[in-house]
Chains A and B, each alone.
Chain A
Amino acid sequence: MKTFIENKPAIPIVSHLNPNGSKWALKEKLWLGLSKQEYKEQFIRNPVNWVLIFIFAIGIPILLQRYIFGLGSITHGSNDYPWGLFLGFGLFGMVPLSASGFLLGTTVEIFGRKDFTPIERLALLNGLLGYFFAVVYLLVDLGMPWRLYYPMIVSLGPAAVLFLVAWHVATYLSVQIAEVSSAFFEWIGWLKGKRFIKSITIGLTVAGIILSTLHQGALGALFTYAPTKVHPLWLSANFQWIHFFCSAIFAGLSMVMVSAALCKRYLTWRCDRQFLDNIDRCTLGLGKGCAYALITYLVIKLVGIAHDNEWAYLLTGWGQYFMLEMALAVILPMMLFAYGVKHQRVGMVRLAAWISVLGIIWNRLNTSMICFNWQTYQEIPHWKEIWATVTVFAIYFIVYRFILYRLPILYQWQGER
């Protein structure tokens, strides 16, 4: 893209008007103002696309195999590990990383911290896509994906935790679509729609907080159904929901920091000055929030251990693994965040964000797979299951990039807004 931008003053598209006075057609907007030939050239030039093609070349047939021959054909089909990577990573990992939407929404709209506005839309989009793809992972994992809507209308089991997850993820997805749609309305130039969304922003944001609190918590509470299977250090019947909710706070914030850092580095052409000039300051601000969330999380994890009097487990092998997780995924990023924020070291805060993103995925995999059935055996997923998981993640990446290239997420739309 950079090469084209140098030679073509009209792109990147930032307003409805072409510099020669005519309006951009929707089709031109979709092609980023490039001709088909140019679009192809930039696609081929980007090495990331070749990696993606490689992933899809093997991954798409695997996904087809899953839908034609059943889950058992690409996984071990284990009855002892009913939930594998699709849920362990796709649902339990992606959802906390998507808490960014409601967190930044709350910061800007509810707490009135307008200084975080430059990063708000990125956070909302990150949230929306994360949830959407958590549902995509569900569609891969569910035995009968075509019955996804059953808990909504066909047969209701309202006393089950998963019922809550289903309803809240569904409603929250709609809330997030509404929140992100204002960027879409600007882009297509339908201001009425944007104003309507703006008029209900507070309602949407508060709904977002409620739904997020409950379903982030509910994902944790799902494991309280298995008090004899999950290792006691990763399961606290009383506090599991708040452990999951609290860790989603630093996970979501870290994810948006990571995403913003990647955009700044690799999507510079799409960012405007307002984004580029403010991103470091916003990162430091979010880093501060992360440090607070991490220390809170550490303390409530300890409270969980104390409450169930599980200290003796810390001396076992599992206990050492637990302490390793706490040290690498909680204490280390916490220190880096605190030090980085205090000494205004943006690079260090970004490193901490990367660590805590990986750390939260590690924690969710520990809870759902590695420390599950801790008294019997551990199962290593089938390579096809791993590849399929990576494939869905690659689709997520493409959709994310597709939207960032086009909608006013990293830049402000010029003219009528």
Chain B
Amino acid sequence: MKKLINRRRFLQGSLVASAAAAFPLAKNTAAANFEGYPDSMGVLVDLSRCVGCRSCEAACNKEQNLPAPEKPFNDFSVFDELSHGQKRRTDETRYTVVNRHDIPGLKHPLFRKIQCNHCLEPACLTSCFVNAYTKTPEGAVIYDASVCVGCRTCMIACPFNIPAFRYSSAFDPKIMKCIFCYDTRLVKGLPPACVEACPQEVMTFGRRTDLLEMGRQRIRENPDAYVDHIYGENEAGGTAWMYLSPVPFEQVEFNTAVPKEPILNYVKDFLSIVPMVLTIWPALFTGIHLLATKKEKMEQQKKSEGSES
């Protein structure tokens, strides 16, 4: 009898556990069709306008109080820097970088600015097991260093390779990434520092829905000047920062393999088996146990009956 109670308690326990597991899943399903906050802001970047002056990099460095770079911001030799054959990327000293791309058949190079794209359904956020990331209604993806454990799953998950880690610090390491100038500017309705600093009006700050309209209009009015695609409209489920390009995006080294749906969709298959395993396994395996040991028990019973008579 004692065993039975144990087993029942055990089943109750697993039911509670699976209910707990089902709750966040329900939240995910609701989020499956999340198309972003209605009035969230974004930036449209027009690659055909950028001349690679790096003013945006300098403005970001100042606004975010990042350490002074090795080479000053007016040093253009950085465009030739390669590490492991890769152009410069964001790291613990810079939230945004501009790279030069020489395009075959084009007289002048193109420049592409990289920073966090502020996804509508960010992979970093959904992969974080301590909820360090938040997507604000204004459109920024911000990060709370005070709860971060430093597992760096967000860096694995980000399809744009944006979050960087402060590896140099033993006592205060954290994720370093563009936050859309959220606390200093975005909450006040101001554009981020990089956008404001740009002398060429490469970037347009506005409501994401309006920016999409504007992008389409530019393509429509000037079909020869742009490829017919807004990078970020659907990439990774849609991003707040979007790009227009005069040449196919892979030529400017955009990752065109990024899926047109949130990264989370790839993980859902696994998430959905969790409550099933939690609920079915206990019954299945206690059942198998009973089946497998039945013979043994019957023999024992027979023996004890035999000894009684």
A to B CB contacts below 8 Å, 15 in the list: A70-B169, A79-B164, A143-B151, A143-B173, A151-B130, A151-B149, A159-B27, A159-B126, A162-B127, A162-B128, A163-B129, A164-B274, A209-B281, A222-B153, A229-B159
Cβ-defined contact, A82 with B129, below 8 A: no
Cβ-defined contact, B270 with A150, below 8 A: no
> What is the CA–CA distance of A404 and B173 in the complex, to the nearest angstrom?
39
B118-147 to A contact mask, C-beta < 8 Å, 1/0: 000001001111111000000000000001
> Which residues of chain A have C-beta atoms less than 8 A from B90's C-beta?
79
Task: Kindly identify which residue among A83, A154, A164, A206 contacts B152, using a CB–CB cutoff of 8 Å.
Answer: A83
> What is the CA–CA distance of A44 and B23 in the complex, to the nearest angstrom?
57
Task: Kindly identify which residue among B126, B167, B174, B281 contacts A71, using a CB–CB cutoff of 8 Å.
Answer: B167
Cβ-defined contact, A106 with B285, below 8 A: yes
Q: Which residues of chain A in 62-92 are interfacial with respect to chain B, using CB atoms and an 8 Å cutoff? A: 66-73, 75, 77, 79-80, 82-83
> Which residues of chain A have C-beta atoms less than 8 A from B286's C-beta?
202, 206
> Which residues of chain B have C-beta atoms less than 8 A from A83's C-beta?
152, 156
B144-180 to A contact mask, C-beta < 8 Å, 1/0: 0001111111011101010111111110011000000
Evaluate whether A160 and B285 lie within 8 angstroms (CB atoms) in the complex, with A69-B170, A227-B259 already known. Answer: no
Task: Kindly identify which residue among A106, A223, A228 contacts B259, using a CB–CB cutoff of 8 Å.
Answer: A228
Evaluate whether A225 and B147 lie within 8 angstroms (CB atoms) in the complex, with A155-B132, A159-B27, A202-B289 already known. Answer: no
> Which residues of chain B have C-beta atoms less than 8 A from A353's C-beta?
none
A133-175 to B contact mask, C-beta < 8 Å, 1/0: 0000000001111011011001111111111111000000000
Any A CB within 8 A of the CB of B67: no
Q: Which 3 A-B pairs have the closest CB atoms?
A: A143-B150, A72-B167, A77-B167
Task: Kindly identify which residue among A82, A110, A151, A237 contacts B156, using a CB–CB cutoff of 8 Å.
Answer: A82
Report the minimum CB–CB distance from A78 to chain B (whole Å): 8
> What is the CA–CA distance of A210 and B7 in the complex, to the nearest angstrom?
15
Cβ-defined contact, B271 with A226, below 8 A: no
Q: Which residues of chain B in 50-89 are interfacial with respect to chain A, using CB atoms and an 8 Å cutoff? A: 84-86, 89
> What is the CA–CA distance of A336 and B111 in the complex, to the nearest angstrom?
57
Task: Kindly identify which residue among B132, B151, B161, B292 contacts A111, using a CB–CB cutoff of 8 Å.
Answer: B292
> What is the CA–CA distance of A48 and B131 in the complex, to the nearest angstrom?
45
Report the minimum CB–CB distance from A109 to chain B (whole Å): 7
We find that the number of chain A residues with CB closer than 8 angstroms to chain B is 71
Any A CB within 8 A of the CB of B227: no
Any A CB within 8 A of the CB of B288: yes
Cβ-defined contact, B259 with A159, below 8 A: no
We find that the number of chain B residues with CB closer than 8 angstroms to chain A is 72
> What is the CA–CA distance of A66 and B156 in the complex, to the nearest angstrom?
22
Any A CB within 8 A of the CB of B10: yes
9-residue interface stretch from A8-16, A184-192, A213-221: A213-221
Any B CB within 8 A of the CB of A309: no
> Which residues of chain A have C-beta atoms less than 8 A from B173's C-beta?
70-71, 143-144
Any B CB within 8 A of the CB of A376: yes
> What is the CA–CA distance of A376 and B83 in the complex, to the nearest angstrom?
11
B88-112 to A contact mask, C-beta < 8 Å, 1/0: 0111000000000000000000000
Cβ-defined contact, B170 with A142, below 8 A: no
Any A CB within 8 A of the CB of B246: no
| B160 nearest in chain A by CB position | A228
Any B CB within 8 A of the CB of A199: yes
> What is the CA–CA distance of A375 and B174 in the complex, to the nearest angstrom?
27
> Which residues of chain B have C-beta atoms less than 8 A from A143's C-beta?
148-152, 165-166, 173-174
Any A CB within 8 A of the CB of B214: no
Cβ-defined contact, B289 with A161, below 8 A: no
Cβ-defined contact, A376 with B296, below 8 A: no
Evaluate whether A210 and B128 lie within 8 angstroms (CB atoms) in the complex, with A77-B168, A110-B289 already known. Answer: no
